[in-house]
Every structure is written in structure tokens, then in C-alpha cells.
């Protein structure tokens, strides 16, 4: 045996690392296994913490989960800063949503009515109010929405800080790919890696993002219903004063956003495609994003183009994450966070830590057993 610990975490994106950090803080020994930590969706993401403007029509339970995680962010990043000395760019900047035309505005009004029915803090803006809130927006936009509680974090800094925090808490990162699973009867007792090593643990947490459903050797009943949803973001560098808030919008029905970081960089996103694990940047997606973002914020044309980043979101059948027991004893899921994994990081870490230490339960909306219960009903 190459290592024995209380907990093994498979995957070192923000989800796996935050779990490793929190569990290790409780005095348990943790091993994190990942061949390429920071290469997944956690690196490509835009870092919006947007329970309100990401709310479409999914419903009250998922909204409550997202709102709860957003509320945990200030304490989470403060603890992280104390442990690592790193500022992860958590900015309480609010989000402006701009409509492009009358049809977009009508859709925004419907969404606003739905949000208000759920008790969410969001406000309709007239054309004039929209420009006053964010003067760099194009002239003549018909109106929009203001979500004062939707903020941002720099997800790349967050990832770096979590690597540091997990390591400092005594959760070493093993650079290898999980290619097999150790079992004693039904019970999962460890993992095998592509360099021939074996690790054992009382609990194994599957946090491999979009790859959670394709980790080699996972027995059939334990394969989670997670699929890859391709997405691209662009990084630009512009004048620091260009935007004061996250700007989102819909241009002729195409969603687009621009996230201004404190250092003057800007993240433009995001495409969404069902394209398997193909993470090559697609020219048409880059073109669409630049065209639509520049339509809303004309000043983007003068910024420096820095980077295209592509990855796959871990999608689930109902867009809610899978956090909790798998069908096999000894194996927990922390996956399927789809478009909100950065937002859901603090809450996921707390929920999984609660399960492992026997001090908490997970809400039904993210309990992986909900699909089995649903099947039994139909
Ligand atoms: C374009 C885009 C924009 C996004 N914007 C936002 C946003 O603004 N706000 C937000 O909240 N969320 C956003 N998301 C979603 C968010 O990025 C994800 O939900 C989140 O990063 C998932 O984190 P994770 O740790 O589960 O997965 P990942 O970050 O993908 O990490 C999974 C890790 O598992 C590892 N792995 C895979 N297979 C194995 C194996 N066999 N053995 C060991 N390790 C393995 C990989 O190497 C990888 O490091 C966005 C995503 C994309 C793609």
C-alpha cells in the first residue's frame, strides 16, 4: 500500500480542494489525487457568485442552496486569507443585467417577476438608470436589472489559495490519475493510480468534475449521471475604470457577460455546447462572445486580447449538484456543480465535511439519491 488515510479526494478542482482543506482542518488525514490540478473548469470559469442572475426557472430549492453558499463566502475567503496570506479577489460589486432589445427586456421582466416571487433582491432599471449604474454600457439600451447581491471571486486565485491551504492543513496532493477502485465487497476502500500505486481510506470522495462519470473502473451502479458541457471564456486586459460591476446581457437571445477584476483584467463568457470532452477552442464561439460583449460594452474594442480558455462544466440531469452518498458504501459524491461550482464551493465543503464527521446531512435538492427516488415514483 502506498498510502492510507482517513479520506481520499479524487480531483483537485475547487470542489475537491475545499473539501480536503476543511476535512483536514478537523484533524482527519486526507490525500488528494489529481494528474493535473487546476486544469479543469475551476481554471476556465469566470468566478461569478450569482445566485440571482444565474436563476432561470430551476426553482426555490436550488436557489436556496446557491444563496446559502453566497452567504458563506465572506467567512470562507477570510479564513483562506488567514491561512494562506492570499487575497482571492472576492469583490462585492453587484451585477447589472442589460437588455438589448424589447424582446430581451420582456424576457427580463418575466424573470424579474419570478425572482421577486421567490423573495430575491433584484430591481428593474429603466434605460436611463441602467446607463447611470454602468456608464460604459452602449447608449440606447432599453433597460435592465440590478442584482446587488451577485458578486465575484477570482477563481484562479481561489484555486491557488486552496492548493496552499489544503497542503498546509496536511492534505498532500498526489499527481496521478485514478484508474481503478479498491473494494471490499460492495464497500469502496481506496483507489489505484495510473503510475501503479494504491491508496486506501475509510471514505473516498469523487470530485472529478465533468470527468466524474468517466473515471476508469468505477463500478456501474456508482457511475454518477454527470455529463460534460463545454464552455469558453476570454481574458482581456483593459482600463481598470471601464466597468464597476459584473455586466450580463442577452444580445438577440445570446447570453454574454463581462466580469471586471480589481487588477483591470476582464473575463468575457461564456459559450455553452454539448460537445463531449472536446476542449479545443472554437473560433465561432470566440467570435460570438466578442461580438456580443462589445455590442453591450463598446469600450471593449480597445482592450488587449489575452487568452481563450476552454473546459467542460460538470452538468447534471436537473442542473443541481450531487453531494452525498453514492450507491456504494465508502464512496461520496461531490460533483455535478454545472454552472455554479465556484459559487457552491464553501457550502459543498461544509456539507461533505459534515457527512464525513457525522455532524450534518445534505438537503434533498443535492442528495444524489433523488434520481433513484424519482425513478421509483415514475
Ligand atoms: C466557461 C465556464 C464558465 C464558468 N463560470 C462560472 C462562474 O462564473 N461561476 C461559477 O460558480 N461557476 C462557473 N463555472 C462552473 C465551475 O467552473 C464548475 O462548476 C466548477 O469549477 C467545478 O469544479 P470541480 O472541482 O468539480 O471540477 P474541475 O475544476 O473541473 O476539477 C476536476 C478535476 O478532476 C481531475 N480529474 C479528472 N479525472 C480524474 C481522475 N481519473 N483521477 C484524478 N483526478 C481526475 C481533473 O484533472 C480536474 O483537475 C464555469 C464553468 C465554465 C466551463
Question: Coil, helix or strand for 162?
Answer: helix
Give me the percent of the chain exceeding a pLDDT of 70: 98
Characterize 328-344 residue by residue with b for buried, 16 or more Cβ atoms within 10 angstroms of its Cβ, and e for exposed.
bebbbbbbbbbbbbbbb
Characterize 218-241 residue by residue with b for buried, 16 or more Cβ atoms within 10 angstroms of its Cβ, and e for exposed.
beeebebebbbbbbbbbbbebeee
User: Which whole-number Å values give the CA distances from 336 to 44, 235, 366, in the listed order?
Assistant: 16, 25, 9
Contact 291, 334 (CB under 8 A): no
Residues 220 and 369: their CA atoms lie apart, in Å, by: 15
Residues 195 and 149: their CA atoms lie apart, in Å, by: 46
Q: What atom in ligand 1 is closest to the CA of residue 271?
A: 1
235 CB near ligand 1 (under 6 Å): no
| Ligand 1 center to 160 CA (angstroms) | 14
Segment 271-306, tens digit of pLDDT: 999 999 999 999 999 999 999 999 999 999 999 999
208 CB near ligand 1 (under 6 Å): yes
* Residue 378 pLDDT class (50, 70, 90 cuts): low
| Ligand 1 center to 191 CA (angstroms) | 21
The alpha carbon dihedral of 16, 19, 22, 27 has a sign of: negative
Contact 202, 16 (CB under 8 A): no
Mutate to test the pocket of ligand 1, among 209, 235, 274 (most ligand atoms within 8 A of CB): 209
Mean of the pLDDT values across residues 176-201? 97
37 CB near ligand 1 (under 6 Å): yes
Residue 96, pLDDT above cutoff 80: yes
In this prediction, residue 253 carries a pLDDT of 81
Closest residue by CA, ligand 1 atom 21: 42
The three-state DSSP-derived secondary structure of 191-205 is: EEECCCCEEEEEEEE
Helix (H) or strand (E) holding 353: helix 345-357
Half-sphere exposure of 46 (CA within 13 A, CB side): 28
156 CB near ligand 1 (under 6 Å): no
User: Which whole-number Å values give the CA distances from 186 to 181, 203, 331, in the listed order?
Assistant: 11, 13, 10
Residue 1, pLDDT above cutoff 80: no
Residues 23 and 224: their CA atoms lie apart, in Å, by: 23
CB-count exposure of residue 132 (10 Å: 0-12, 13-18, 19+)? exposed
Mean of the pLDDT values across residues 338-342? 97
Instruction: Write the DSSP string, 71-84.
Output: HHHHHHHHHHHHHH
* Residue 58 pLDDT class (50, 70, 90 cuts): confident
Closest residue by CA, ligand 1 atom 5: 45
In this prediction, residue 57 carries a pLDDT of 67
In this prediction, residue 59 carries a pLDDT of 78
Mutate to test the pocket of ligand 1, among 333, 339, 344 (most ligand atoms within 8 A of CB): 339
Cβ count within 10 A of residue 317: 13
Residues 264 and 240: their CA atoms lie apart, in Å, by: 4
| Ligand 1 center to 245 CA (angstroms) | 24
Instruction: Single out the residue of 57, 137, 50, 49 nearest to residue 98, CA to CA.
Output: 137
Amino acid at each position: 500500500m502506498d498510502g492510507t488515510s482517513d479520506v481520499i479526494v479524487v480531483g483537485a478542482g475547487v470542489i475537491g480542494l475545499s473539501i480536503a482543506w476543511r476535512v483536514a482542518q478537523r484533524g482527519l488525514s486526507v490525500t488528494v489525487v489529481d494528474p493535473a490540478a487546476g486544469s479543469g473548469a475551476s481554471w476556465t470559469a469566470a468566478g461569478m457568485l450569482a445566485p440571482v442572475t444565474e436563476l432561470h426557472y430551476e426553482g426555490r430549492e436550488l436557489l436556496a442552496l446557491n444563496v446559502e453558499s453566497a452567504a458563506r463566502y465572506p467567512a470562507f475567503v477570510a479564513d483562506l486569507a488567514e491561512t494562506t496570506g492570499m487575497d482571492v479577489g472576492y469583490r462585492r460589486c453587484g451585477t447589472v443585467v442589460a437588455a438589448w432589445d424589447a424582446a430581451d427586456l420582456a424576457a427580463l421582466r418575466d424573470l424579474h417577476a419570478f425572482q421577486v416571487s421567490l423573495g430575491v433582491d433584484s430591481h428593474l432599471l429603466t434605460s436611463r438608470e441602467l446607463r447611470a449604474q454602468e456608464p460604459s454600457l452602449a447608449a440606447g439600451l432599453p433597460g435592465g436589472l440590478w442584482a446587488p447581491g451577485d458578486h465575484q471571486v477570482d477563481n484562479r486565485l481561489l484555486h491557488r489559495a486552496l492548493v496552499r491551504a489544503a497542503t498546509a492543513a496536511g492534505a498532500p496532493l498526489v499527481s496521478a490519475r485514478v484508474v481503478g477502485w479498491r473494494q471490499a465487497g460492495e464497500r469502496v476502500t481506496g483507489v489505484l493510480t495510473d503510475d501503479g500505486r494504491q491508496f486506501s481510506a475509510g471514505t473516498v470522495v469523487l470530485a472529478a468534475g465533468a470527468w466524474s462519470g468517466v473515471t476508469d473502473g468505477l463500478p456501474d451502479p456508482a457511475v454518477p449521471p454527470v455529463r460534460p458541457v463545454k464552455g469558453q471564456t476570454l481574458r482581456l486586459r483593459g482600463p481598470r475604470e471601464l466597468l464597476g460591476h459584473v455586466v450580463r446581457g442577452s444580445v438577440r437571445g445570446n447570453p454574454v457577460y463581462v466580469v471586471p477584476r480589481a487588477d483591470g483584467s476582464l473575463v468575457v463568457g461564456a459559450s455553452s455546447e454539448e460537445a463531449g470532452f472536446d476542449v479545443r477552442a472554437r473560433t465561432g464561439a470566440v467570435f460570438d462572445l466578442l461580438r456580443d460583449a462589445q455590442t453591450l460594452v463598446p469600450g471593449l474594442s480597445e482592450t488587449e486580447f489575452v487568452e481563450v480558455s476552454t473546459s467542460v462544466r460538470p452538468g447534471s440531469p436537473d442542473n443541481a449538484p450531487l453531494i452525498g452518498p453514492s450507491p456504494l458504501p465508502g464512496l461520496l459524491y461531490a460533483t455535478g456543480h454545472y454552472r455554479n461550482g465556484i459559487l457552491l464551493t464553501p457550502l459543498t465543503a461544509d456539507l461533505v465535511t459534515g457527512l464525513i464527521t457525522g455532524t450534518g446531512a445534505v438537503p434533498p435538492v443535492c442528495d444524489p439519491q433523488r434520481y433513484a427516488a424519482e425513478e421509483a415514483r415514475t
